[in-house]
Structure 1
Amino acid sequence: MSDEPPFDFSILDRIGAPYRHFAPGEKIFLEEEPGDAMYMVRSGRVDVITYGTVLENIRTGGIFGEMALIDDGPRSAAAMAAEPTEVVAINKPTFLAVVRDDPQFALRVMSLLATRLRRMNKQL
């Protein structure tokens, strides 16, 4: 995914997706919480954590929290700002609007899920 062009945040700006700011160490969401949005990092860095282990560092243009949005299940991990961070919240109607405007976005999310699943399989 590193050879992908950077995400065009203007799509989210046009739709009016809300931006949120987090201080270092501030929680974005906790494991097992219900989730109605995924997030994209506009600036900063987010640590995705489970049982005290950092699973992944999400940087500018990266997404997290997508599983809960897709399957309406609880959060499978926690997310915490690792530094001053700005994210955009993408709820289901916003996700569908972005996919209509930019169908490649859906493939980007699916590619990310596949990459994470392959990484987990290698660790088993």
Structure 2
Amino acid sequence: MSNDPPFDFSILDRIGAPFRHFDAGEKIFLEEDLGDAMYMVRSGRVDIITYGTVLENVRSGGIFGEMALIDDGPRSAAAMAAERTEVVAIDKAAFLAVLRDHPEFALRVMSLLATRLRRMNKQL
């Protein structure tokens, strides 16, 4: 993902995706919550946590919570703002709209999933 060009947030502005602000230490969602949106970090940092272990730090332009939109399953980990953070919430309708108009976004999401899976495999 680090070689990806910066994401053009105006794409999300045009479809009216809402912004949300979180203070440091504030939960965005918990493991096992039902997921109705994925998120893209506009500023700040989000920790992805399971069983008290930080799996990943997501920074500006990074996405998290995408699995819940793809398979309609519960959250597989918790997300907490590590510092004052602004995210864009992308619900299923917005996600599909972005994919329709910007199919390269699907490759960005798939690349992220592949990177996370490879990292997990190395830890086994």
TM category (shorter chain) comes to over 0.9
Amino acid at match of 2:13: D
CA RMSD, 1 decimal = 0.5
Quick one: distance in 2 between partners of 1:82 and 1:117? 23
Q: Which runs of 5+ in 1 are unaligned?
A: none
| % identity of equivalent residues | 86
1:15 aligns with 2:31: no
Report what 2:87 is aligned to: 87
Q: Give the secondary structure class of the aligned counterpart of 2:32.
A: coil
Give, in whole Å, the separation in 1 of the partners of 2:49 and 2:65: 12
| Distance in 2, Cα, partners of 1:26 & 1:2 | 26
Normalised to the residue count of structure 2, the TM-score between the two structures is 0.98
> How far apart in 1 are the matches of 2:3 and 2:114?
17
In 2, the alpha carbon distance for the partners of 1:119 and 1:12 equals: 29
Give deviations 1:52-84, integer Å, cap 9, x for gaps: 000000000000000111100000000000000
CA offsets 1:1-21 (integer angstroms, 9 cap, x no match):
212110000000000000000
- For 2:118, the equivalent position in structure 1 comes to 118
Equivalent residue, structure 1, for 2:31: 31
Which residue is 1:62 aligned to?
Answer: 62
Per-residue CA deviation, residues 98-118 of structure 1 (Å, 9 max, x unaligned), is: 111211000000010011011
Distance in 1 (CA, whole Å) between partners of 2:32 and 2:96 is 24
Partner Cα separation in structure 1 for residue 88 and residue 119 of structure 2: 26
**Structure 2 counterpart of 1:115, which letter?**
T
TM-score (norm 1): 0.98
Alignment of 1:37-76 (within 5 A): 37-76=37-76
**Paired AA for residue 37 in structure 1:** A
Cα offsets for 1:22-76 (capped at 9, x unmatched):
0000000000000011000000000000000000000000000001111000000
Mean CA deviation greater in 73-82 or 1-10: 1-10
Count of matched residue pairs: 124
SS in 2 for 1:70: helix
Distance 2:59 2:22 in 1: 14
**Structure 2 residues not aligned, in runs of 5+:** none
